[in-house]
Structure 1
Amino acid sequence: MTSTHKAYCPPGNLTEYLPDPREPIDRWFQARNASNVRTTVRIVRDLCPTADLFVDPLAGGGSSACAARLLGLPFFGVELDPLLACVCLAKSAAEFDHVRAVPPRVSPDQPLASCLSVTRRLSEGTEHPVSEHEMLADLVAGPCATTGSHVLWGDATQAEIWDELHVQARHAVLYTSPPFDLSSPRPQALPGLRAEAELALAAAKAARSGIGPGAFASYDQIASAVVLRAAYRLQRLTVILEHEPADDGSDSRAPTIRRLTDKLGSRLRDVRILECGAYSRRGLFSLIVCEVAQ
């Protein structure tokens, strides 16, 4: 399928590209390769204004979960790293009372509060550690969690994870940032915190089969695999994939579109490549956008 290329904004500058360390809720922990929450919100409102479900199968540190909160959309997220899955769950579902109940260590009776505990301690190793007071202030000022949101710890390229997608959506948006290269960073944590994250996720019933190292090595393989899984579960889907060249300069946009075209055929429509600007050493940041219909 032929794709169209055109210039697009946002992000229109480095500030709109990088995560904002002052953003309520999102500031609890931001991965080094995170997206700017407000820019994600603007993009979704522009490209998929009728969305009634936000899906991110490579949810990372939960910037998309925060964007879904701001948009008032239910969120379905999947993340392979247990530390990031805890952060994503906390950002997606936490409310004021959960912070007040945060235990010093993981408690099976308080799974969401335990995820908040993991998140707070994970932030201690960053430039912007978050306090309990700041968490409370963010939840007072920020948007409420959206009913029906669900975050899972597992591999979104595997079918079992998607069996947990029970939300009936008329028009879902899948917005995600597949790893641009195998060197994409993973969080560093104090000894024992990763194991506590796994316990918290199990208590929250967020752990699912398919947990492992992931079976796909390249951007186009990962991106096409998660989009295909979503396409089998959802009737109407707008796909928005962030893309930057890999460390070796290779461009995965055409291979990704080719894989999706081969598998989805006539279901794949209106394929676009929206080019924004160069904001990192990798080069041009762009969005691969397409529609998937029944």
Structure 2
Amino acid sequence: MSLYLPLNPERYHPDPREPVDRWFQTASASNVRTTMEIVADLVGPACSAVVDPFAGGGSSATAARLMDLPFFGIEIDPVLACVSLAKSRATVGHARILQRLPPIRDLESLLSVLALLPTCASADEVAVASCLAVVLALRASRGTPLGYQEITGDLACHRRPAATGRLVCADATVPASWRDLPVPQEDAVLYTSPQFGRRSPLLGAPPRLTATARGVLASVGGDHGRSTTPEDSGFAGTTVAMLRQAAAVMRRATVVIEHEPDDDGHNATEETLERTAAALPGRVHNARFIFCGQFTWRGPLSLIVFDLR
């Protein structure tokens, strides 16, 4: 039995005190430290990168940063894509650039800051600082503004992000999403949490903020998405469609898929693994389930784990 399995399932909930990760945490996010323990236990020091095709609010991006590993992510929601990119790439320098500009209190002030950024920063700095500005606007839209002192303090105590890595705003189940994502072909961990059902919490950001975030990502070549939501094909269908694309670009990896029962209580752990093995003949090895206890109202959280070869 692996050491990271908690007697207290709260270990899987995000820690609101975790620097950088606390900037914004989705309701279904994972605990950064527990993710790090799982990666260390299953992959060890040979891990070359963290890949998350459903990056969400960036808990895996923060974990990768703390482990000094490159992070490669895909996220279809443009606001969450900006959050994940900021968590994986921001430095104290980016925070200080924003601090010299007008405060971000709403969408209009965000637009003003985005217009000013190219005049006071390099192209590479603008890309990350713009995503960090979107995070500030998101927090302001929720009535919980994030101060520059908090951001700078968090980044000062975190190590600088790994030099490589990339995130795109796209649908992870289609080939085009992976074309510009230079994931390592060997020894990465693909750690992700696909949407569990129609009642999974959605971000619900203001439409104009979503459009602005998409524009930010498009300006730096990070928007490969589409404006409509993909058809819901269920947890197993969505996961297998994503794994087909991942397997096309990754020769060897450790795969960890978080799963909770669907809205109707259906547990798709065995179905997902069976369909994955059928879709990727001869490439799924050492498959197992790790059951972690109750996580939310849906039921027990489990991990679907296998080696992709």
TM-score (norm 1): 0.92
The answer to whether the aligner puts 1:17 opposite 2:12 as a matched pair is yes
Q: Does the 8 Å CA contact 1:238/1:292 hold for their aligned counterparts?
A: yes
In 1, distance between residues paired with 2:184 and 2:51?
Answer: 12
The answer to whether the aligner puts 1:213 opposite 2:229 as a matched pair is yes
Q: 1:14 to 1:268 in 2, by over 3 A?
A: closer
Q: Does the 8 Å CA contact 2:185/2:249 hold for their aligned counterparts?
A: no
Provide the secondary structure at the position in 2 that maps to 1:258.
helix
Which digits, 9 at most, give the CA deviation of each residue in 1:25-68, with x for residues without a partner?
10111111111111101111111112101100000001110011
Among all aligned residue pairs of Structure 1 and Structure 2, give the percentage whose two residues are the same amino acid: 41
Provide the secondary structure at the position in 2 that maps to 1:291.
strand
Aligned to 1:238: 254
Aligned to 2:93: 97
Displacement, 1:164? 1.2
**Which letter maps to 2:243?**
V
Q: 1:111 aligns with which of 121, 127, 145?
A: 127
- Unpaired runs of 5+ residues, structure 1, are 1-5
Provide the secondary structure at the position in 1 that maps to 2:201.
coil
Aligned to 1:48: 43
Q: 1:278 to 1:210 in 2, by over 3 A?
A: same
**Which letter maps to 1:42?**
E
Which digits, 9 at most, give the CA deviation of each residue in 1:99-124, with x for residues without a partner?
12225432473232111111012123
Q: 1:78 to 1:11 in 2, by over 3 A?
A: farther
The answer to whether the aligner puts 1:290 opposite 2:286 as a matched pair is no
Q: Does the 8 Å CA contact 2:183/2:250 hold for their aligned counterparts?
A: no
Q: 1:280 to 1:47 in 2, by over 3 A?
A: same
Provide the secondary structure at the position in 1 that maps to 2:281.
helix
Displacement, 1:191? 5.3
Q: 1:211 to 1:8 in 2, by over 3 A?
A: farther
In 1, distance between residues paired with 2:260 and 2:39?
Answer: 19
**Which letter maps to 1:232?**
A
Q: 1:162 to 1:84 in 2, by over 3 A?
A: same
Provide the secondary structure at the position in 1 that maps to 2:186.
coil
**Which letter maps to 1:68?**
A
Which digits, 9 at most, give the CA deviation of each residue in 1:61-114, with x for residues without a partner?
011100110111111100001110110111111111111222543247323211
Q: Does the 8 Å CA contact 1:7/1:275 hold for their aligned counterparts?
A: no
Displacement, 1:155? 0.4
In 2, distance between residues paired with 1:220 and 1:12?
Answer: 27
The answer to whether the aligner puts 1:149 opposite 2:187 as a matched pair is no
Displacement, 1:220? 0.4
Q: Does the 8 Å CA contact 1:40/1:67 hold for their aligned counterparts?
A: yes
Aligned to 2:122: none
The answer to whether the aligner puts 1:74 opposite 2:70 as a matched pair is yes
In 1, distance between residues paired with 2:29 and 2:148?
Answer: 22
Q: 1:162 to 1:261 in 2, by over 3 A?
A: same
Q: Does the 8 Å CA contact 2:10/2:295 hold for their aligned counterparts?
A: no
Aligned to 2:176: 160
In 1, distance between residues paired with 2:260 and 2:223?
Answer: 30
Aligned to 1:64: 60
Displacement, 1:128? 5.3
- After the TM superposition, which of the residue ranges 6-15 and 191-200 deviates more from structure 2? 6-15
Structure with more contact order per residue of length (Cα contacts < 8 Å, sep ≥ 6): 1
In 2, distance between residues paired with 1:122 and 1:177?
Answer: 22
Displacement, 1:291? 0.6
Aligned to 1:86: 82
The answer to whether the aligner puts 1:30 opposite 2:25 as a matched pair is yes
Q: Does the 8 Å CA contact 1:157/1:214 hold for their aligned counterparts?
A: no
In 1, distance between residues paired with 2:300 and 2:143?
Answer: 27
Provide the secondary structure at the position in 1 that maps to 2:282.
helix
RMSD: 1.9
Displacement, 1:125? 4.3
Displacement, 1:170? 2.6
The answer to whether the aligner puts 1:273 opposite 2:269 as a matched pair is no
The answer to whether the aligner puts 1:223 opposite 2:248 as a matched pair is no
TM-score (norm 2): 0.88
Which has the larger share of helix? 2
Q: How does 1:172-191 map to 2 (within 5 A)?
A: 172-190=188-206
Aligned to 1:3: none
- Unpaired runs of 5+ residues, structure 2, are 102-109, 119-125
In 2, distance between residues paired with 1:72 and 1:7?
Answer: 23
